[in-house]
Amino acid sequence: MKTFYIKTYGCQMNKYDSEFISSIFIENGYIETEKIENATFIVINTCSVRERAESKVYSEIARLNNLIKNSNVKIGICGCVAQHLGENIINKYNNVSFIIGTEGLFRLSDVLNRVEHGEKVIDVFFSENNFATGKFKRKPGVSAFVSIMKGCNNFCSYCIVPFVRGREISRKPNEIIDEIKYLRDLGYKEITLLGQNVNSYGKNLDESINFPKFLSMVNNIDGIERIRFVTSHPKDFNEELISTMKDCEKVCEHVHLPLQSGSDRILKMMSRKYTYKEYIEKIYKLKKSINNVAVTSDFIVGFPGETLDDFNNTLNAVKEIGYHTIYAFMYSPRPGTKAAEIDDNIDKDEKKRRLSELINLQSNITYKINKSYEGKTTDVLIEGFSKKNANILMGRNRQNQIVNFVSSKLLEQGTIAQVRIREGKKNSLFGEFIN
C-alpha cells in the first residue's frame, strides 16, 4: 500500500499548498496517514522566514534520513526552503527523492511519476503564470484557504519571501470565483483569501480589478457565509477597502495589519513605507467605520540598531491600538536580504527580554478584551468539538476569536450559532448557545 504523511511549517500559504500536495498524492493512489511511521512517502513542506524555521527543517530531514536509512521510504521536500536551497538538500541526504519549490508545485504529479520510476528530481524553476490552485481534491470542512496571488514585490529589508516566492502575480478573478463555488458545493462556509499583500491584488491583470472590487465579487457568491483575507500591507490599506468591508455583509470584522515596529526610524530601516502616524490614522478610520472590528498584527523585536527608545515606541503602539492579538518574533537575519548586511548588535538575551515584555503586555490586553465580551452575544461558525472536551463545541466569531460553548441542542458543524459569553479567558471565549 502506498501511504504518505505530510508535515507543514510556515504560513497559511504553505497550509494551502499542503492541501494541494495531498490532493496530488491521493490522485496518484496514495492514502494519507496521520502516523509518520506508517508512511511510505514523507513530505515536508518547509518555511524559511526565520533561521529557526529553516534549521528545524534540516534537523528533521537529517533525523528522518537516519531513521529510514535502509528502507524504501521516500522523502519529498516542498515549500520555501526547497525553492531557495534546492540542490544543497538533495546532495546532502540520500533518502530525499524530490525537491520541489513553491513555483513548480503545479508540476508535482509529473515529478511524483518520475520519482516512482526511480528518478531523483529537483524542480526549483520559476514559472510566471502557473499556479498550484484550482478545483483540487479537498477534505470536507467548514473554512478553506484560497490563494488569490503569489509572490511579493515589497522587499521589506528583513524578509526572504520576495526572494523565495518571486514577483507578485494575481490569479484571474473568474478562476478564483470558480474555485470558491467549488468549495461552496463541498459544503465550505468560510473562505480566507490569501496573498502576501492582498491589497495589491489585480495589479498585473488586464482586467480592471482591484482587491475591494474582487471582495465584492466574492461577497455575491451564494452559500458562502464568511469572507476573510490575509495579509494587508498597511501602506496600501485604504478607504476604498474599508468602505467595501462595510458594504459586504459577509466580510468579517477582522483585519490583520502587521505594524512590525512602533518606531519610525526602524520602520524606515525595514523599508515598510509608512510611518506610525499614517498607520494609526488608518486604524482610527477603520474603527470608526466598522463596529466591533478586531485588529491583529505582527511585530519584530530586536531589529539591528533597535534602541530601548525604539522598543518603547513599539510597546506604546501596542497599548494605544489595543490589538485583539499579535504575533511577535525575534528578528532573525536572512542571508541575501538588505537587513542581513546591518550589524546585528543586540544580544540574544536582550532580544528575548524585549520579546517577552511585548508578549506579556499583549497578553494582558487580549485578556482585557476577552473579558469585555462577557455577557455579550456573538455569532459563532461551528467548526467542531473542543480539543479538550468532546461535550463542548468550538468555532470562531467574526472577530476571529476562538469561542468554546455548551449547548443543550444538537448543532451541526458549519452552522452559525448565537452564543452568550460567560467568560473571557486568556486566549479564548467561553459561552452558551442561545439561538
Applying CB under 6 A, the residues found at the interface with ligand SAH are 49-50, 158-159, 161, 196-197, 231, 233, 258, 260, 298, 300, 329, 331-332, 334
- Residues that bind ligand SF4 (rule: CB under 6 A) add up to a total of 10
14 contacts which partner out of ligand SAH, ligand SF4, ligand F3S, none, CB within 5 to 8 A by kind? ligand F3S
Give the integer Cα–Cα distance in Å for 83 and 33: 25
Question: Minimum Å distance from CB 280 to ligand F3S?
Answer: 26
* 47 touches ligand F3S by CB under 6 A: yes
161 binds ligand F3S per the rule CB under 6 A: yes
Provide the CB-side half-sphere exposure for 27 (13 A, CA): 15
Is 98 strand, coil or helix? strand
Q: Helical H runs in 97-203? A: 108-116, 161-165, 173-185
Closest CA to 155 of 42, 69, 269, 247: 269
The site string for ligand SF4 over 167-196 (x = CB under 6 A, - otherwise) reads -----------------------------x
Nearest one of 236, 321, 248 to 287, comparing CA atoms = 321
The cell for 60 is 528533521
In the complex with ligand SF4, which residue's Cβ is closer, 90 or 300?
300
With CB under 6 A as the contact rule, the residue among 18, 23, 48, 147 that binds ligand F3S is 48
- Residue (273 or 425) nearer to ligand SAH, CB: 273
Q: How far is the CB of 19 from ligand SF4 (least distance, A)?
A: 21
Q: Which of 78, 156, 218, 380 touches ligand SF4 by CB under 6 A? A: 156
* Residue 154 vs 400, nearer CB to ligand SF4: 154
Q: Which stretch binds ligand F3S (CB under 6 A): 28-36, 47-55, 183-191, 243-251?
A: 47-55
Burial 286-296 (b: 16+ CB within 10 A, else e): bbeebeebbbb
Query: What does the block give as the cell for 80?
Result: 520555501
DSSP state of 58: H
Instruction: Give how far Cα 118 sits from Cα of 82, 161, 324, 410, Å.
Output: 20, 32, 51, 52
298 binding partner (options ligand SF4, ligand SAH, ligand F3S, none; Cβ < 5 to 8 Å by kind): ligand SAH
Sign of CA dihedral 86, 88, 91, 96: negative
Q: If contact means CB under 5 to 8 A according to the sort of partner, which of ligand SF4, ligand F3S, ligand SAH, none does residue 329 touch?
A: ligand SAH
Q: Strand pairing of 377-385 and 416-424? A: antiparallel
Closest CA to 130 of 99, 172, 100, 82: 172
Residue 162 binds ligand SF4, judged by CB under 6 A: yes
Please list every residue from 1 through 30 that binds ligand F3S, using CB under 6 A. Answer: 10-11, 13-14
Peptide bond into 415 cis (omega under 30): no
In whole angstroms, the minimum distance from the beta carbon of 432 to ligand SAH comes to 36
Enumerate binding residues for ligand F3S (CB under 6 A): 10-11, 13-14, 47-49, 79-80, 161, 164-165
